[in-house]
Amino acid sequence: MKQKLFLILILLFITINISGCWSKKELNEIAIILGTGVDYTKDNKIQLTYQLARPAAFGGGGMGGGPGGGAAMNQNITWIVSATGDTVFDAQSRLSQQIPRHLYLGHNVVLILGERLCRHGVLDVINFFHRQPLSRGTVWIMATPQEAKKVLESHSELQMTSAQAIGFLARLRTGYVLRFRDFSQDLASRGTNPVLTRVELKRQGVAQGPGLEKIHHHQEIIITGAAIFKEDKLIGWLDCQETQGLRWLKGDIHKMGIIIPSPIYPDKNISLDVIKGNTKIEPVYQKGKVKFYLGIKAEIDVIEQQDEEDFTRTEMIKAVENITATKIRQRVKISLDKVQGEYKVDSFGFGEAFHRKHKKEWSKLKNRWDEEFANAQVYLTVKVKLKDTGMQGRRASLKR
């Protein structure tokens, strides 16, 4: 009898425990945030913009579910809301008074920072996204020369929402992209200054289809380079070309095209694709002077040729490799001149490399690292290897 009573008590205890928890939030009680934008308004306030998903419009409209298609016609998939306040949370609490659901940050894809905010300093707003248990280090973080609110007020042709689209674009790594974790690391490190992805909302292509006789222009969020920071403040932008050089310097080499002039035919070009590459930084400290020896190695494929260079011949391969090396050197030089010469900040993590090599000297130099870096000599060696020439060795020709 006593045992039975005990058993019943235990059963009750378990039932109460597994039935649920205090802080439960059902799916239909939360507003899923897909994109976040933060701006600094003219009257020095923080403006927070959320792109909220409207799941009711997802997958409806008789076209079946699945990503990429199926949004109901004439229904908005996202709802973009914004509010201003003295802090990010102040703005958010204003928003939560206007939105009939719990704001849920756990599925946020992208955090976009407006230019005014970046110039003012991002430390003011970054912490909110750190401290929140729901936010993640995997969020893509980007800066825009436009207003972040304007950028988020957009939609995508291929993805459900523009926030998801920019997330997918970032995952392809065709530009310099980084995530919140990387940005926080760079912010907290003396040896490197943060660089953010630069995005813009631009007119991009033409949307066409049956019943769309009138030309319909479409605006999409695209990656247009990088933003250079000194500590937490934006000091300048890089365009796409300069960003490629920056990626060589940072050793972040994925999917890059290089166009070189042909070694034998003037006015003709060869397109190459970098399949693999790495950058080795060799810091040297001599007589109070900092020097860097950079060894860049790249493996390239031939993608197209405009004339009839014969890639089955080793001299031709050597010639292409040499021209490519010069081309890469030029690209790197342009970015280096701009960032080191003009902006005078170490965006490449050279300081970190110096720290790894010279522990003792670093403790003396770390507090004035950017000045030291601005005066440092950088020597480049580029080694290129042609690996593959696609489906052809030499093209079919009239001349032979």
Partner 1 sequence: MTDKILEGGKIDARQTLYLLVTMIYATLILFIPQNTVAHAKQDAWLSFLVAFTGGVIISLVVINLSLRFPGQTLFEYLPLILGRFPGKIIGFFYVWLFIHFCALVDREYCSHIVAVFMPETPGEVFLIHGTIMAAYIAYCGLEVLARLNQLFLPLNAGLLTTLFVLVTPEMKVINILPVFDTSLLSLAKSTITPLSWFGEIVALAVIIPYLAEQKNIYHLTIKALFFVLILIELATIGVLLVFSPTLTSSYFFPVLSGTKMINIANFVERLEIIPIVIWVTSGTVKAALFFWAAALGSAQLLGLKDYRPLLLPLAVIVTALGYLLHPSIIDLLNFLTQAFPFYALTFEFIIPFLLLIIVLIKGPGKK
Binding site for partner 1 (CB under 8 A): 13, 17, 21-23, 106, 130, 133, 136-138, 171, 181, 184-185, 188-189, 352, 355-357, 359
- Across 105-178, the runs of DSSP E, i.e. the strands, are 110-114, 140-144
Contacts of residue 17, defined as CB under 8 A and 6 or more positions apart, other chains included, come to none
Cβ atoms of residues 293 and 303 within 8 Å: no
The closest alpha carbon to 143, from 86, 242, 225, 88, belongs to 225
Paired strand residues for 277:
298
Cβ atoms of residues 47 and 39 within 8 Å: yes
Location of structure tokens 């166009």: 259
Vertex 41, ends 35 and 44: CA angle to 5°?
125
CB of 167 or CB of 245, closer to partner 1? 167
**Dist CA 380 CA 328 (whole Å):** 10
DSSP one-letter code for 294: E
DSSP one-letter code for 389: -
**DSSP helix/strand/coil, 93:** helix
